[in-house]
Amino acid sequence: MDEISTEWVAEPDLDDPAFVEGLPGVGHVGKLVAEHVIEEADSEVVCRIHSEHFPPQVTVDDDSVAELAAAEIHAVETEGRDLLVLTGNHQAQDNVGHYRVTGAFLDVAAEFDTTDVFALGGVPTGELVEDHDVVGSVSSADLKEDLAEAGVEFRSEEPAGGIVGPSGLLVGLGGKRGFDAVCLMGETSGYLVDPKAAKAVLAVLEDLLGFDVDEEALDDRADEMEEVVSRLQDMEEGPSPGDEDLRYIG
């Protein structure tokens, strides 16, 4: 195997697609959005990216077939912009790998003459979040106006620790390669899988790209998580006084 190999499964004819990344991360916000869009809209796998920098393992599917660790890029046709949606279960396990795998992601985007890259994720607040703002960072300041109109907030030097991993690199490396690259981060506690933060990010994305998917599945998951949170709060309220800070949970 090559250090990174892109296995092409389909070569769909997409019209000016936007590249959307939703790999695992804070609150699984990006991954929830990516998987939701893939499931609700008309989609097919375009390619799988394997790499020596991924963990040395296979996952076993429902048919007992072993699948080599991979990131997958799906073509999604919507009533608005066509999408290339990147998701998966794995990240590169070393620094050099992060840079090179992200480079391979951008190669696929370039293959489809994509100009717009959206990296989706969460930004941890350390507290239960009621209103899920979506915070943005951009490869170039002139991208901010359109995003602000769609409700994205821009805050000076935030997130303070920068953006780590593939989301950050897609904007950093993407910008250097001439993409209009944006990171959209839903505010989330950081302790729990957060479908509500995912909904907030999805709403911004739909607004920007002119599509609309059914949100019932995300709502159902949000309801499940509400119950989890409410049970955790009950436990907190027992012997010690409860508060909305989940710092010691999960």
Burial tier of 110 (Cβ tally within 10 Å: 0-12, 13-18, 19+): middle
Q: Which of 80, 124, 151, 175 binds its own copies (CB under 8 A)?
A: 175
How many CB atoms are located within 10 Å of the residue 189 CB?
23
Distance (Å, whole) CA 70 – CA 52: 10
Q: Are 49 and 104 in contact (CB under 8 A)?
A: yes
Does the footprint of its own copies cover residue 155 (CB under 8 A)? yes
DSSP H/E element including 235: helix 216-236
Count residues near its own copies (CB under 8 A).
60
Q: Which of 45, 111, 115, 144 binds its own copies (CB under 8 A)?
A: 144
Cβ 135 to its own copies shortest distance, Å: 9
One-letter amino acid identity for 223? Answer: D
Does the footprint of its own copies cover residue 6 (CB under 8 A)? no
Distance (Å, whole) CA 18 – CA 16: 7
Does the footprint of its own copies cover residue 158 (CB under 8 A)? yes
Does the footprint of its own copies cover residue 95 (CB under 8 A)? yes
Grouping H, G, I as helix, E, B as strand and the rest as coil, residue 155 is coil
Query: x/- contact string, 117-136, with its own copies (CB under 8 A)?
Result: -------------------x
Query: What are the residues binding its own copies (CB under 8 A)?
Result: 1, 3, 7, 50, 52-69, 92-100, 102-103, 136-141, 144, 154-159, 162-166, 168-169, 171-173, 175-176, 181, 183
